[in-house]
């Protein structure tokens, strides 16, 4: 987990979600549609440079640190100059997400069994969320409809193509897989953040809490929880292990999809 992930999540502003800006202007920016010839002095930066700087800032400090002023400072511009490239934070977030999506790996899925295809899609999304933890906390129920989103969606649907599923079920199956990956990623990010905020590892935290827990927690009253919690904690060295949760959960996701796919 990168160092930047330890600072996720942070409180979002009311516009910290996808498609919160003007839809027409956002689409123009996503697809780089010019609204007319540039006028005035030669520009010192570009939309791409603003987006790249914003992603670097969010990766390092979290989405809560992302402001137009902070991006301007990073680029050596005035805030007003930054607005000549991107009209506001809402549009900037869509551009950031779309760029991250555009840069994701897209391994060839054509010759793989369906389980391996879905596993590959899950793996590439998990890697993306590890590199850019802020994406896991950015609501995208209205996805940024740019070239990155289009390429990602088309590629990932290919994991379910040719399996006899109708289009609505293909879309739902992809949503199911990505929802699982995002949920596990969030817990992993939160775990790293807790360790950073407390300046203690999970093991150190439990060692500190153990004497008082021994006084107040009665294993006879909660026998199943005490037994299972102790066994799992010893196995993971903590209350939670992101890798184990991912591997175990993805296997169950694939088993569930198998009921849908292999029984048709």
The residue ranges of every structural domain in the chain are 3-100, 105-261
User: Which pLDDT does position 4 carry in this prediction?
Assistant: 43
Residue 171 in tokens: 């879309």
pLDDT of residue 2 exceeding 50, the answer is no
pTM (global) more than 0.85? yes
Say if residue 192's pLDDT is above 80.
yes
Number of neighbouring beta carbons within 10 Å of residue 114: 18
d(CA 62, CA 248): 29
- Over residues 3-47, the pLDDT tens digits come to 444 444 444 455 688 899 999 999 999 999 986 555 555 678 999
CA atoms of 134 and 123, how far apart (whole Å): 18
CATH 1.10.357.10 fits 105-261, yes or no: yes
Average predicted confidence (pLDDT) for the chain: 90
CATH superfamily of domain region 3-100: Homeodomain-like (1.10.10.60)
pLDDT given for residue 263 in this prediction: 84
Mean pLDDT, to the nearest integer, of 98-104? 98
| Residue 67, token pair as written in the block | 């402001």
Query: What is the DSSP secondary structure assignment for residue 42, as one 8-state letter?
Result: P
């Amino acid at each position: 987990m990168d160092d930047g992930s330890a600072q996720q999540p942070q409180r979002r502003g009311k516009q910290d979600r996808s498609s919160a800006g003007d839809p027409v202007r956002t689409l123009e920016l996503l697809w780089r549609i010019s609204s007319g010839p540039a006028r005035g002095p030669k520009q010192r930066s570009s939309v791409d440079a603003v987006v790249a700087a914003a992603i670097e800032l969010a990766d390092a400090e979290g989405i809560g640190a992302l402001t137009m002023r902070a991006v301007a400072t990073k680029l050596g511009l005035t805030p007003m100059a930054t607005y000549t490239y991107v009209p506001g934070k809402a549009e900037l977030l869509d551009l950031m997400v779309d760029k991250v999506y555009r840069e994701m790996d897209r391994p060839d899925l054509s010759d793989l069994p369906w389980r391996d295809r879905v596993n590959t899609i899950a793996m590439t999304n998990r890697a993306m969320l590890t590199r850019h933890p802020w994406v896991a906390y950015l609501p995208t129920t209205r996805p940024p409809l740019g070239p990155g989103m289009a390429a990602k969606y088309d590629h990932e649907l290919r994991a379910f193509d040719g399996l006899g599923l109708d289009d609505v079920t293909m879309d739902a199956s992809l949503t199911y897989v990505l929802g699982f990956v995002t949920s596990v990623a969030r817990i992993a990010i939160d775990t790293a953040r807790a360790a950073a905020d407390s300046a203690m590892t999970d093991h150190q935290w439990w060692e500190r809490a153990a004497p008082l827990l021994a006084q107040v927690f009665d294993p006879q009253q909660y026998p199943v929880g005490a037994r299972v919690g102790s066994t799992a904690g010893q196995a993971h060295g903590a209350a939670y292990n992101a890798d184990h949760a991912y591997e175990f959960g993805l296997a169950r996701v694939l088993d569930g999809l198998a009921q849908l796919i292999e029984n048709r």
